[in-house]
Chain A
Amino acid sequence: MNDLDTFRSETRAWLEANCPPEMREPMRTEADACWGGRNWSFQSDAQRFWLERMVECGWTVPHWPKDYGGAGLSPGEAKVLKEEMARIGARQPLTSFGISMLGPALLKFGSEEQKERFLPEIARGEIRWCQGYSEPGAGSDLAGLQTRAEDKGDHWLVNGQKVWTSYADKADWIFCLVRTSTESKQGGISFLLFDMATPGVSTRPILLISGNSPFCETFFDDVEVPKDQVVGEVNRGWDVAKYLLGHEREMIAGMGLGGTDGTLGAALQPDDALLRAEVAAFDVDALAFAAMSERFFEMFKAGEAHPASPSMMKYAGTELNKRRHELIMAAGGSDALEWDSERSKKGKPARDWLRTKANSIEGGTSEVQLNIVAKHILGLPGA
């Protein structure tokens, strides 16, 4: 038996002993995902227990170093853990932008003090983070952002407004792009971390077409931020932002996978011949994309992926996910149009369908991703 086999059998036994049966059920609502943070109220004792046990092992962030709350697993071991969790249908113990977005950026660009201060509390699910990127006047043209951070000697003074801040009303801290210089567009941006409880920070949820409010407007009015909370160098925040966006895009691209093993057609059983044909065309694209995701992961691990390739994945994955939900709606017919009946689980198909329309906008629009591929991968002129 090699090391990985040993690891697999130990992991399997540990998961069997420690993953509560409730945490092996598929998630039914958004509240079933555990986001952690100061104000989190656990859905159940099982949810709390599962998070605590996984935190003890460092398995909320298995590949992070042990010093920062991870388990220091090799890519091979991390894959085994993922497979073993999938085998029993174990839920992710913690869903967090700290894990999927800020963490990787801190690991690459953060100071030692910042890593020691912020990473373990992310790993333990103690602090819930939100992302302050877009502004009313800076969407696709993100580097045109205007939120200012003035150097006041012993602190930064932040003024401005962010928009599309996911779960800002529930978050404890924000990682935020701010303008620290007007001399250059990209070269005047810094990456700042601060507590959402700081005086001068306020949020307002935005009601979306789905009837839900996952996003907020976030306002900064003379917010004082300690000087040591800039990640990377002052005015070099664009590098951090781009790196983090790569991770965000990978995460969003994952939506292309749809979260289940089977094909869409197997789930929908379309009885109309023309719809069946469209669903089959979709399933071909979806299974091909799943193969691409595996390959992308392996290439990334081996350092063979083009740095701009998350843009390709994000574009393909989100366009696919929008198609998936169009087909689910088509197959659902008039049943799928019910908005708040119990029968429709409070309009789940329709609300999910509408939610996917943001996939090709958030994290950079499809058009922006295509610009990036055209310029950085194909080397087309003037792109």
Chain B
Amino acid sequence: MPLLTDDQKMLQETATNFLREEGRPAKQLRHWRDSGCTDGYGTDLWKQFGELGLNGICIPEDQGGLGLGAVEAALVLEEIGRNLTPSPFLTTAIVGARAIEGTAHAGRWYPGILSGEAVLTLAVDESRRHAPEHTALAAERRGNGFVLNGAKQFVIHGNSADVILTVARTGGSPGEREGLTLFAVQKGAAEVESVALADASKAARLKFDQVELDADSVVGEVDNGWLPLSRALSAGRAGSAAELVGVAAGASAMTVDYLKQRKQFGKLIGEFQALQHRAAHLYGEIEIARAAALKAAELLDSGDGKAELLVAVAKAKAAAVSRLAVQEGVQMHGGIGMTDEHDIGLYMKREAVLGELFGDVYYHRNRVAELSGY
């Protein structure tokens, strides 16, 4: 795997500097949480993402984007994770942009994504477990369009999104990849219950009760929704893996710092070998998780046949390592780690949500087994 190019390093530096200052918890996560913001993120920051050009990473150059790929997305997402920055970047500029790529919806939504004005998201889950093949939400043909009946949950930013890319069943039966169709559902079409999650982000539970959509709302082809859906899910899984690496790295940096400051028994607690070994183990695990996330991104970008396997590896590994990082973080901080005042607990809550998004550790371990033929 080649290391980063100069252009990639420049992009990484841009994201690092921007998010370290503008994206830090005091300015974003805590600010919006404590002021009762209903979106859960700042719309100004989202526009700044656009101004910096970050939103065009996955959008082709001839449509105004940068025409880059999953590796560049990973670089930005790691910094988002490190700073716990709430933003619609992952659901909109990565997952959303990939879902509508090459379809009639690209022209409609890319300009808004690029400028940081539009928010997109993906609605897949219908129960507490991620299981896209088991989609049951029914879309029946009526006249020139469709009528949707069913429910979705864990739709991140679903309460503020301008368009919710909703996977529904037009044929086949739950458990099958065939017969799925992806619909672009505009704001207001479905009934939205806004749900605050543990990490102070906002998701939605959606209810579709005889929701009528016209034929133009189909993304890609009817019954062939698996194609745009899997494209979007792969991007989202690789992206959330990279964000989880950032969460792990941020929590671990904060913790190692604390080990060098906190004194007990007359010495710095970082002198105790019991803690040193755990910190050193964690360091290695984060390096390995980052390597897996970058490898998955690289294979996605090159269209390699092993991309799917590595994406599952990356998501499973990054989630497990990130969980270790936040658990060690809170434990090693001791009592202060349990307070809302300290940021380390925010990392724990962010990890829980990101770890679940687009399939948790167990989901992806199972995928690795299935893709390997056992």
Interface positions of A (Cβ within 8 A of B): 262-263, 265-266, 268-270, 276-277, 279-281, 283-285, 287-289, 291-292, 294-296, 298-299, 302, 304, 309, 312-313, 315-316, 367, 369-371, 373-374, 377-383
Contacts and interface: CB of A to CB of B under 8 A. Distances in A.
Which of B284, B291, B366, B369 is most buried by chain A, counting CB atoms within 10 A of its CB? B284
Interface string B283-321: 111011101101100000000000001101110110010
B74 to A, nearest CB: 13
Contacts of A270: 374
B310 A287 contact: yes
A213 B205 CA distance: 64
B284 A316 contact: yes
Interface of B: 1-3, 256, 259-260, 267-268, 270-271, 273, 276-277, 279-281, 283-285, 287-289, 291-292, 294-295, 309-310, 312-314, 316-317, 320, 362, 364-366, 368-369, 372-374
Contacts of B314: 288
Contacts of B372: 262-263, 265-266, 283
Contact of A380 (B279, B309, B316, B373): B279
Given A298-B2, A299-B3, A370-B276, A312 B284 contact: yes
B192 to A, nearest CB: 36
A270 B364 CA distance: 17
B42 to A, nearest CB: 34
Contact of B310 (A262, A291, A379): A291
Nearest to A302: B3
A285 B281 CA distance: 14
Given A379-B260, A381-B270, A284 B295 contact: no
Given A284-B365, A295-B1, A382 B271 contact: yes
Contact of A383 (B3, B276, B295, B362): B276
Contacts of B291: 288, 291-292, 294-296
A367 B365 contact: no
Given A288-B289, A316-B288, A377 B283 contact: yes
Contacts of A316: 284-285, 288
Nearest to A266: B372
Contact of A381 (B2, B268, B281): B268
21 contacts: A265-B369, A266-B373, A270-B374, A276-B369, A280-B368, A283-B368, A283-B369, A284-B317, A284-B364, A287-B292, A288-B289, A295-B294, A299-B3, A313-B284, A315-B281, A315-B284, A373-B284, A378-B256, A378-B276, A380-B270, A383-B270
Contact of A292 (B279, B287, B316): B287
Contacts of B368: 263, 265, 280, 283-284, 287
Given A295-B1, A371-B273, A380-B271, 5 more contacts: A265-B372, A284-B316, A284-B317, A295-B291, A379-B260
A304 B288 CA distance: 16
A15 to B, nearest CB: 25
A25 B273 CA distance: 47
Contacts, number: 139
A270 B294 CA distance: 30
A378 B268 contact: no
Contact of B292 (A292, A373, A381): A292
A292 B334 CA distance: 32
A370 B277 contact: yes
Given A312-B287, A316-B288, A284 B313 contact: yes
B276 A279 contact: no
B317 A285 contact: yes
A381 to B, nearest CB: 5
Contacts of A383: 270-271, 273, 276
Contacts of B271: 380-383
Contacts of B365: 277, 280-281, 283-284
A284 B314 CA distance: 8
Given A280-B366, A283-B369, A294-B291, A288 B313 contact: yes
B374 A291 contact: no
Contact of B1 (A285, A294, A381): A294
A315 B259 CA distance: 22
Contact of B374 (A266, A377, A381, A382): A266
A298 B1 contact: yes
B41 to A, nearest CB: 31
B256 A380 contact: yes
Nearest to B366: A280
Contacts of A287: 292, 309-310, 313, 368
A299 B276 CA distance: 25
Given A316-B284, A373-B284, A380-B276, A291 B260 contact: no
Contacts of B3: 295, 298-299, 302, 304
Given A283-B372, A284-B317, A291-B310, A382 B288 contact: no
Nearest to A270: B374
Contact of B281 (A298, A370, A382): A370
Contacts of B289: 288
Nearest to B369: A280
Contacts of A373: 280, 283-284
A312 B271 CA distance: 19
A207 B268 CA distance: 44
Nearest to B289: A288
A289 B288 contact: yes
Contacts of B369: 265, 276, 279-280, 283
